[in-house]
């Protein structure tokens, strides 16, 4: 296709999806022509070909954008490096988007009919605008791995583009900025054009929320790891903090959006996920493995007879509380948090403090299930030792070849986000098991030899991928077991029961 045909096809697709009205066609076309430094426009209707109906609808707009970006690079409209291409792509799609006020108005009009209808609208809009980068997300390797705790979700993350040498050089040479926006989650990212080293956000929109008297913002993740993966962020750039107010906000959110769950990363390094400098939560419309896990050891906490409590059968240490009265759950969660923050049990390596440095905190998750409020409180500890310098309750060295990064909210709930390097590295492990020429990385070699012994006489070209994927799942299970503060052995279970009993001591 010519560039004019590609532009027209993009416009037609966006009209078809209701992003703009037919009356907007000429205006939007001229905006795009300006971005591409084009002074004229002409297409031969007889040669114009629309995308086929059997094309993946999530990929039609991204593929047309890619053609436009390739044209811009070829004709020196932009330089050939990542950020320049991202900025132009976002600017093109911004031509099809209404202002934040209009999008918020439409959202709340739909919300008055159905909360689900409102989020459906905003999620679809975020995909159509290519803010959610579906063409990259579909590259991820995704599967489920069976374990005694249920099926774990495994994702090898291939969605984030690798920086090319030109991009890296540009970032090194870029002048220091004024720090605007302060971070990737700040509200000032909405509509921000982007710059070298800071992603393009021209096509980014947020929904305003009032949560407990504060202004918060709802957006979707550009690289969703699960269905309708959303982020809820504070208007104020402030550090993450798990507190009574956190529990209240989480339960308020699921009351507003009962078809979503929401959770928070913990608020300490090592156990707190990637961004601790901006208070935010993550949610979505997905049942994680932990949410589906069975309950065991039910118990009651004094002063809370109407709240059902239990331990969750999960490799990490999780207390589940459930009730019909929101404020009772907030009160109990706050009591458990306060007690845990000062709790020590040296027999199982749990110390609340080293000097004045705190180690204990909680990763909380909220949902509404069967008409009741429900919270999972995952006990975390970030202490380190000489044997485990990255964290006693962190993936240990023998699983680092698969997963070394912090175990944040998403992993806690049973979804492994594994590094892109594994895509090719696991293929080499498969070749090793098949006795084919291979280049197994040194850090995988011991594991590969263990697998060869385990599956001796059973591996062939038809099942080798299945076996390796199963064993990656087992490694992720080990990651979660390492992160559990009370282990699932007899000593750990007894120690967990002791902590539960201590909740009732005055």
* pLDDT tens readout for residues 458-488: 999 999 999 999 999 999 999 999 999 999 9
Is residue 382 assigned to a domain? yes
Is residue 425 assigned to a domain? no
Is residue 409 assigned to a domain? no
Model pLDDT, residue 53: 46
User: b/e per residue, 263-281, with b = 16+ CB within 10 A?
Assistant: bbbbbbebbbbebbebbbb
Model pLDDT, residue 275: 85
- Tell which of 51, 77, 103 closes a domain: 77
Distances from the Cα of 334 to the Cα of 317, 328, 338, angstroms = 17, 10, 6
Q: In this structure, what token pair is assigned to residue 263?
A: 């959770």
- Its domain, for residue 368, covers 225-393+484-502
Cis before residue 329, ω within 30 degrees of 0? no
Alpha-carbon 414 to chain mean position: 12
The pLDDT confidence band at residue 167, using thresholds 50, 70 and 90, is: confident
- Tell which of 77, 104, 125 closes a domain: 77
* Segment among 7-21, 52-66, 389-403 with least mean pLDDT: 52-66
The pLDDT confidence band at residue 46, using thresholds 50, 70 and 90, is: low
Model pLDDT, residue 175: 79
Alpha-carbon 387 to chain mean position: 30
Q: In this structure, what token pair is assigned to residue 194?
A: 């982007």
Q: What's the CA gap between 175 and 292, in Å, rounded?
A: 49
Q: What is the mean pLDDT of residues 491-499?
A: 98
- Please report, rounded to a whole number, the percentage of residues in the chain having pLDDT higher than 70: 98
Q: What is the pTM of this model?
A: 0.94
- Please report, rounded to a whole number, the percentage of residues in the chain having pLDDT higher than 90: 91
Q: What is the mean pLDDT of residues 3-24?
A: 97
The pLDDT confidence band at residue 47, using thresholds 50, 70 and 90, is: low
Q: What is the mean pLDDT of residues 209-227?
A: 96
Q: What's the CA gap between 258 and 350, in Å, rounded?
A: 36
Per-residue model confidence as pLDDT tens digits over 423-443? 999 999 999 999 999 999 999
Model pLDDT, residue 51: 58
Look over the chain and give the mean of its residue pLDDT values, rounded to a whole number.
Answer: 95
Model pLDDT, residue 253: 98
Model pLDDT, residue 483: 97
Q: What is the mean pLDDT of residues 78-90?
A: 96
Is residue 458 assigned to a domain? no
Burial (CB < 10 A; 0-12, 13-18, 19+), residue 317, is buried
Would you say residue 410 has pLDDT above 50?
yes
Would you say residue 73 has pLDDT above 60?
yes
Q: What's the CA gap between 231 and 254, in Å, rounded?
A: 13
Report the candidate in 87, 54, 60 with the shortest Cα–Cα distance to residue 72: 87
Report the candidate in 450, 418, 342 with the shortest Cα–Cα distance to residue 143: 418
Q: What's the CA gap between 158 and 227, in Å, rounded?
A: 17
Per-residue model confidence as pLDDT tens digits over 348-388? 999 999 999 999 999 999 999 999 999 999 999 999 999 99
Q: Contact at 8 Å (CB) between 231 and 240? A: no
Q: What's the CA gap between 251 and 211, in Å, rounded?
A: 10
User: b/e per residue, 159-191, with b = 16+ CB within 10 A?
Assistant: beeeeeeebeebeeeeeeeeeebeebbbbebeb
Is residue 160 assigned to a domain? no
Cis before residue 181, ω within 30 degrees of 0? yes
The pLDDT confidence band at residue 50, using thresholds 50, 70 and 90, is: low
End-to-end CA distance of the chain: 76
Is residue 24 assigned to a domain? yes
- Tell which of 77, 103, 135 closes a domain: 77
Q: What is the mean pLDDT of residues 47-58?
A: 67
What are the residues facing 266 on neighbouring strands? none
Alpha-carbon 362 to chain mean position: 18
Report the candidate in 246, 260, 224, 279 with the shortest Cα–Cα distance to residue 410: 224
Is residue 468 assigned to a domain? no
The pLDDT confidence band at residue 161, using thresholds 50, 70 and 90, is: confident
The pLDDT confidence band at residue 169, using thresholds 50, 70 and 90, is: confident
Is residue 443 assigned to a domain? no
The pLDDT confidence band at residue 173, using thresholds 50, 70 and 90, is: confident
Give me the number of domains the chain comprises.
Answer: 2
Per-residue model confidence as pLDDT tens digits over 271-308? 987 789 999 999 999 999 999 999 999 999 999 999 99
């Amino acid at each position: 296709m010519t560039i004019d045909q590609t532009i027209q096809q993009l416009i037609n697709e966006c009209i078809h999806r209701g992003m703009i009205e037919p009356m907007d066609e000429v205006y939007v076309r001229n905006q795009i022509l300006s971005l591409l430094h084009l002074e004229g426009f002409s297409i031969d209707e007889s040669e114009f070909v629309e995308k086929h109906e059997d094309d993946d609808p999530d990929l039609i707009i991204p593929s047309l954008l890619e053609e436009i970006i390739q044209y811009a690079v070829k004709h020196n409209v932009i330089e050939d490096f990542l950020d320049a291409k991202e900025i132009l792509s976002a600017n093109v799609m911004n031509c099809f988007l209404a202002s934040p006020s209009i999008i918020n108005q439409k959202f709340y009009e739909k919300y008055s009919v159905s909360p689900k209808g409102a989020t459906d609208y905003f999620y679809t809009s975020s995909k159509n605008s290519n803010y959610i980068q579906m063409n990259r997300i579909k590259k991820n390797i995704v599967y489920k791995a069976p374990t005694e705790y249920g099926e774990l979700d495994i994702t090898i993350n291939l969605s984030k583009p690798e920086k090319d040498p030109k991009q890296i050089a540009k970032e090194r040479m870029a002048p220091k900025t004024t720090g605007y926006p302060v971070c990737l989650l700040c509200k000032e990212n909405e509509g921000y054009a982007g710059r070298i080293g800071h992603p393009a956000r021209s096509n980014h929109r947020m929904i305003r929320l009032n949560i407990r008297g504060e202004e918060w913002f709802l957006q979707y993740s550009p690289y969703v790891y699960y269905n309708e993966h959303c982020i809820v962020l504070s208007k104020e750039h402030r550090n993450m903090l798990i507190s009574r107010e956190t529990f209240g906000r989480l339960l308020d959110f699921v009351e507003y959006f009962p078809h979503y769950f929401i959770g928070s990363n913990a608020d300490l390094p090592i156990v707190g996920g990637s961004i601790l400098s901006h208070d935010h939560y993550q949610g979505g419309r997905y049942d994680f493995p932990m949410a589906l896990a069975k309950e065991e050891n039910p118990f009651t906490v004094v002063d809370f007879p109407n709240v059902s409590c239990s331990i969750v059968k999960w490799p990490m240490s999780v207390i589940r509380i459930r009730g019909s009265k929101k404020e009772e759950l907030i009160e109990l969660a706050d009591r458990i948090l306060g007690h845990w923050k000062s709790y020590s049990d040296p027999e199982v390596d749990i110390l609340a403090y080293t000097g004045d440095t705190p180690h204990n905190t909680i990763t909380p998750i909220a949902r509404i299930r069967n008409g009741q409020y429900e919270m999972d409180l995952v006990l975390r500890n970030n202490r380190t030792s000489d044997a485990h310098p990255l964290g006693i309750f962190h993936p240990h060295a023998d699983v680092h070849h698969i997963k070394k990064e912090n175990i944040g909210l998403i992993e806690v709930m049973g979804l492994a986000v594994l590094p892109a390097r594994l895509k090719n590295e696991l293929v080499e492990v498969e070749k090793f098991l098949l006795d084919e020429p291979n280049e197994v990385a040194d850090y995988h070699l011991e594991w590969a030899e263990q697998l060869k012994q385990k599956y001796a006489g059973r591996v062939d070209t038809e099942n080798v991928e299945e076996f390796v994927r199963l064993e990656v799942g087992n490694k992720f299970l080990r990651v979660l077991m390492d992160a559990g503060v009370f282990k699932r052995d007899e000593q750990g279970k007894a120690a967990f029961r002791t902590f539960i009993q201590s909740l009732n001591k005055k």
